[in-house]
Chains A and B, each alone.
Chain A
Amino acid sequence: MSERILLKNIDTTRPGPPCSYDRYVKGGGYEGARAALRMTPLEVQQVVKDSGLRGRGGAGFPTGLKWSFVPMDFKGQKYLICNCDEMEPGTFKDRALIYNDPHQLIEGMIIAAYAMQMTKGFIFIRYEYRKGAESVNHAIAIAEKNGWLGRNIQGSGFDFHLETHLSAGRYICGEETALINSLEGRRANPRSKPPFPQTKGFLGQPTIVNNVETLCCLPHILARGASWFKSIGTEGSSGTKIVGASGRVRRPGLWELPMGVPMRTVLEEYAGGPAREHGFKAVIPGGLSTPMMTPDQFDTPLDFDSVAKAGSRLGTACLIVFDEGDCMVNVTENIIRFYARESCGFCTPCREGIPYIHDIVKAIRDGAGCEGDLPTLDEMAKHIMHTFCAFAPGAQGPFLSAITKFRHEFENYLRAGAPAAATPAAGRQS
């Protein structure tokens, strides 16, 4: 295995108590923040730009470029927000980071806050991670005591006040403008862009929202340099990535690997190959909202550009794996049910369209499909692209790829009805 950087202090197989301040510092912790505080804010931004760091929340937008839209001459309050609303099905990387090494995240936030001169920060944590939030709160208190948070950090003259916000739960909160609305005490409906949060975000002030893993890369970049970070991974995607695998693999788990590791290596070497007697059938590469990939694409390197070239998205790089024993009609019903339930209800194509798709897919699965259902699904897949935010297009990814790549399975259901094995277990209410 290659060098563990973000997971240095974390045993992903056996989560224990979070890494203590002393252990974190002994391992080189807070050296990145120390280095940043010796530079000017713009120099720190330049290091991050030079490192080629791209957002680990799923979109892969260059972090330095995102930051550069924050007006540095703005005199009022600016805010830094960490998005720890990890609810993307199949994704379990940020949990490992905040439960086990909260100081790494805090250090990353100090660096980001200093680079953009943001004196207030929030960590937005999903309700189900409330025990993790307790670890983070404890670490914040320790960091304050050691002069890393609060007023005049390490004598630099820079102030940064950080607190956690425990969400009341809803998948859409992970969308950055919905997250900002939620933090303001509103319904988590996404906002229209522009204006972008960088100029008008939380309470109308310049705001940056970054993912946990993105922020956790910063201490290492600042401590070891942009060129070191760029030397790992690929030309367009530098650094390591926390890659996960779940579903039909023998050893599901999380591994920190250089960007560009072939999907097959993850599936076969790290995840131990198929869990059952069946061969692999498909992989959803980056959390649920990315198009399915098939075994002929398993040599694809796991980096932003290669996965995009293969017609999907790297997303969160947490692979969801299906084998030949899985019925893709049944799988698609589960996928679409999730989106139908979690739609925020704000715009019509999403609120009405996704449940409509679910009704049809469920009817097909239950043996009650009719001729014309597949063309209707094709049509609906187009309509749900015309929505206010990226939620419904996210749903379209796995859905459209399923009805395209595994169309014969849907056709079999329409011809012969539902096979007995695919009917849901007794007592199940969906």
Chain B
Amino acid sequence: MDFIEIIVTLSGLGLAAFVIWYFFFSARRMVSAVSSSGGVQQVSITVKGGYSPDVVEVERGKPVQLSFYRDEENSCSEELLFPDFSIRRALPAFQTTLVELLPQQAGTFAFTCGMGMLRGRLVVR
């Protein structure tokens, strides 16, 4: 094994480790919902290659209004799925789409794009 091979091997393994950490173990951005005067918990989410914030914390038993602003035309994000709430919604590009739901149980509920590539979580306390 020559010197270059060692370099390539080490950097390859390092890169692989970084990919695993970056996608699976790094910290996520979490945001708690803000309750409006009417008791509706509101959160704005920007959709651009992913959801930001991608972890949303809400309270149980109160209506939740998520406004998804899709800031891109990329077809990956054109659909939004909340399987636990039976929601499949098309998000028009450069527009805000409101998604309303009422979480009755505590738990973590995933929301994803149409193909399950982009992911976010709704954490109900």
* A and B associate: no
- Which of A's residues lie within 8 Å of B, judged by CB? none
Q: Which B residues form the contact surface with A (CB < 8 A)?
A: none
